[in-house]
Amino acid sequence: VKPFSKEQFDSILCRAVKQYQEFNAISAFQEEKYILVKARGVCTRVRVADIVYAEIFNRKITIHTMEEDLEYYGKISELERQAGKDFYRTHRAYLVHFRYVVKYNASMVYLERGTAMMSKGRFSDFVKQYLKYNQRTMF
């Protein structure tokens, strides 16, 4: 270990505290972000942090949370835009939340509640983005 001055230590510590505070502010914002889903004439507010994954079949999107499944008609690309960077489109029909990924391979993503298919062409980018997510969220 190289010797360092008190000023260097203070500077590094200040940067670390600042990064930690910024991370917590972003996480708090993500925790409180909501989307509105209209199904059968009823609007439901869904907390983005609670979405495990979403899938689309015949223009009908199913949002899976730990508590319930919500179905509505829409575009998964619009949901992807609203959900933010903690989500990844593993397949044209699936959008997964990195927070709930348990394990994955080249063909499937296993989540805390359910599974999602993985496109061959998206696997390497998924791995990169998942590692970035983990670096961003784990201290």
State mean pLDDT over 96-102.
Answer: 97
State mean pLDDT over 99-127.
Answer: 97
107 DSSP assignment: S
Percent of the chain clearing pLDDT 90 (strictly above): 65
Average pLDDT, the chain: 88
Domain residue limits at 105:
33-137
Number of domains within the chain: 1
Return the exposure string of 49-70: e unless at least 16 CB atoms fall within 10 Å of the residue's CB, then b. Answer: bbbbbbbbeeeebebbbeeeee
Q: What is the pLDDT of residues 5-53, one digit of tens each?
A: 877 877 777 777 777 766 665 555 555 899 988 888 888 899 999 999 9
pLDDT at 17: 73
Instruction: Please tell me the least confidently modeled range out of 2-16, 53-67, 114-128.
Output: 2-16
State which H helix or E strand residue 10 sits in. Answer: helix 6-31
Residue 124 lies in a domain: yes
Nearest to 82 by CA among 56, 113, 47, 119: 47
Rounded Cα gap, residues 125 and 100, in angstroms: 18
Residue 7 lies in a domain: no
Looking at residue 90, which CATH number applies to its domain?
2.40.50.1020
Q: Which pTM value belongs to this model?
A: 0.76
